[in-house]
Structure 1
């Protein structure tokens, strides 16, 4: 993990110094969550275990790394302990934004699967997950990643409960699901997360998501908030234009098939593991609307549009409903859509290196606590990576340790 962060202008020694100071800082930030020192110490050791070199982040592995005779203290942090996982989520968000915050950032919403055996783990059911590429026994977590020019980190998460869970009160009680938690679709969960981000004054300009989160109430929420979006839609989603020189009407797929060759441009949506991610793109402006129609406090014209992506190799198409300030370029919208790659990369890193899917608890609280601690570990690595990249300037300012919280 530390080797992966030795980039930019930082030497091995500088990176190790950043790592040590950042780890102290992260532990200081979460200390107020715990009323007892021994519980706080166990949480700190849990974080150490997530960031360690062990390939599996199980309770036994973390306990061995901490020098404990068994996994009981590690497991109590997730289950029996009394502390607020949502408060930790908020700490992670604030911590990440201190370094990664940028007004042009993009919130990316996506989900990932947690493969499970049996029926007892909270939210587990036979359902589709892209992690396995099929319907299988798993939990589904919905996440928000904050993606800016400074880096990316998770800032929110929620466990999806299928109706077969929310329709069985006894099952909810056994998994310690709070009484005020009921069935919520994934788009509704996404709306709740966006609303939290806006209430917390998270700086961002766009939201990007795939067709699971689609259109409708999320679009209205973002228009009222003065935020742009690039949201995936199905091929049979119907679009209409008005007030434009060339009329557009029909399903997304039919519109794409009718476009002339000159309508397509080859553009990169950003860098990936194998270099720039090139596709052919087409963009149609459908209507210009005044922002005040959605919020009296907003002004200026915004454009509703349809963005289409075509795979160079096989010609397969993907469609996106867009909303942006008038005059926004197609390249800018393509780049926003390309930010979705960051959350896919984040899931892979968090699972392979930080134990995101190694949660051994079965309860609602256990899932959210484990995932929130992993989010903190991931945010810490993002902060270190950014600081390592800008190390020469940091040496001049001599970063000082963050003051300890007073209890």
Structure 2
């Protein structure tokens, strides 16, 4: 990438940060805002306050540390206003790459060793794939096939924390924050998105949220279509059947003398062979991703609704050919006439948020905050989303079809005779508009105006061009 391209990236970054500064409520916070966002972009294993202070102000690290610590942990600027400004500046560039297709509800865990960080306790941590001591935050992201952007973000406060006045006061938890389950937080975020007039998308979420009947009912009441993961044991009336007894909801076990209620797993196993189709949904790194799917119209047993009010939904099932039984199940309120592949495409679009959360953690340090307070946790997350949002907006500056530069082949790297003479060189696995590549471009632009290179510590300008 030439120097003019890098220089333009730095100009856009400065304008972007200036736009965010208008929502901070005080001019003295604009400088720490830029330094904090710059620190999140710069290379480094940790994106906590102390190492970022050393990189952004090496000559006055102690003062910079105090400035950034006050900005993220004490200053009372509004996370909601800053996130709204991020959305205002980033959303147009996302929509130029394709319309918003989905609202994705997900949670992400941050492993912790101590017990004093706000909201920390032993609970399921998706990052580790098991129960562990961690914090968990619930988020709502808007997404298309090009990118996703978190628009709402809140720490899940376990009941033990929500009812402990001493710990609440010490961590600075606002008085209006009460205990809510993760699905309840998710429904609040979806309700807010509807009221805020965000571009509508199909709500996507995994089985941890999809099994909650109140959440599904709440989304339907708001007019939000969904494709949600479910557990195979969820009871439902199979195709061609309906409730025989009407007038009152089912009991908590999902039954009320309804002999036709069976599990989603049994429905899948009873389907004939011709019901299954091999469908591919997106291009992977080496080939198209595909699997076997079937779909049927069902009515789900509901403990909150009278049977006559229960509408038909799609039950989508994935059963890979090399598996002994079905592996995934989804429910969807998308229209009855939706195409089979389109339904699968929505169900599989959750890969977008999984990959983007990985980039939020790896590229801008979402999980690196080392403070213990409620305000600091959310302020750091807001700054990470802001830095990530700028990189998302930069995607449109480089088309996905841009020429890929092949990496030079080094004959000494392989044993003699390993590579047959005349075989083509394998090109470098380099995606020009990936978040990682765009971040490197911005780093190159930012360090030219810094007194010391954050990578090698050198003050010589020539060494920085080797980055």
User: Which TM-score band applies after superposition, normalised by the shorter structure?
Assistant: 0.7 to 0.9
Which of 283, 292, 315 aligns to 2:295? It is: 283
Q: Structure 2 regions of 5+ residues with no counterpart?
A: 245-259, 300-310, 403-467
1:161-191 CA distances to partner (integer Å, 9 max, x unpaired)?
1111112111111110000101111101110
1:192-251 CA distances to partner (integer Å, 9 max, x unpaired)?
111111111111230110011114222223323333211111111112257679x98511
CA distance in 1, matches of 2:331, 2:68: 45
Instruction: Determine if the alignment matches structure 1 residue 50 to structure 2 residue 40.
Output: yes
Name which of structure 1's ranges 204-213 and 306-315 shifts more when overlaid on structure 2. Answer: 306-315
* Equivalent position of 1:405 in the other structure: none
CA distance in 1, matches of 2:177, 2:30: 28
Where in structure 2 are the equivalents of 1:193-342 lying within 5 Å? 193-214=189-210, 215-241=212-238, 249-286=261-298, 304-315=313-324, 316-342=326-352
Where in structure 2 are the equivalents of 1:4-403 lying within 5 Å? 12-13=2-3, 15-67=5-57, 68-70=60-62, 71-101=65-95, 104-214=100-210, 215-241=212-238, 249-286=261-298, 304-315=313-324, 316-389=326-399
CA distance in 2, matches of 1:193, 1:17: 38
Name which of structure 1's ranges 272-281 and 27-36 shifts more when overlaid on structure 2. Answer: 272-281
1:316-373 CA distances to partner (integer Å, 9 max, x unpaired)?
5111111012311121111111110011101111111100010011111111110011
Name which of structure 1's ranges 48-57 and 212-221 shifts more when overlaid on structure 2. Answer: 212-221
- Secondary structure of 1:213's aligned partner: helix
1:74-117 CA distances to partner (integer Å, 9 max, x unpaired)?
11111121211122222222233222246551011111110112
- Secondary structure of 1:141's aligned partner: strand
- Secondary structure of 1:376's aligned partner: helix
Retained in 2: the 8 A contact 1:18–1:384? no
Q: What is the TM-score when the length of structure 2 is the normalising length?
A: 0.74
Retained in 2: the 8 A contact 1:142–1:189? yes
The CA deviation at 1:274 is 4.9
More strand by percentage: 1
Q: Which has the larger radius of gyration?
A: 2
Name which of structure 1's ranges 109-118 and 272-281 shifts more when overlaid on structure 2. Answer: 272-281
Cα distance, 1:272–1:15 mapped onto 2, change above 3 Å: farther
What root-mean-square deviation, in Å, do the aligned CA atoms of Structure 1 and Structure 2 show?
A: 2.6
Q: Structure 1 regions of 5+ residues with no counterpart?
A: 1-10, 288-301, 393-407
Q: What is the TM-score when the length of structure 1 is the normalising length?
A: 0.84
Name which of structure 1's ranges 260-269 and 171-180 shifts more when overlaid on structure 2. Answer: 260-269
Cα distance, 1:254–1:14 mapped onto 2, change above 3 Å: farther
The CA deviation at 1:279 is 1.9
The CA deviation at 1:149 is 3.9
Cα distance, 1:196–1:21 mapped onto 2, change above 3 Å: farther
Retained in 2: the 8 A contact 1:15–1:388? no
1:241-288 CA distances to partner (integer Å, 9 max, x unpaired)?
57679x98511111111112211111123234554332211111236x
Retained in 2: the 8 A contact 1:33–1:87? yes
Name which of structure 1's ranges 271-280 and 319-328 shifts more when overlaid on structure 2. Answer: 271-280
Cα distance, 1:233–1:79 mapped onto 2, change above 3 Å: same
The CA deviation at 1:151 is 2.3
Q: How many residues align?
A: 369
- Secondary structure of 1:212's aligned partner: helix
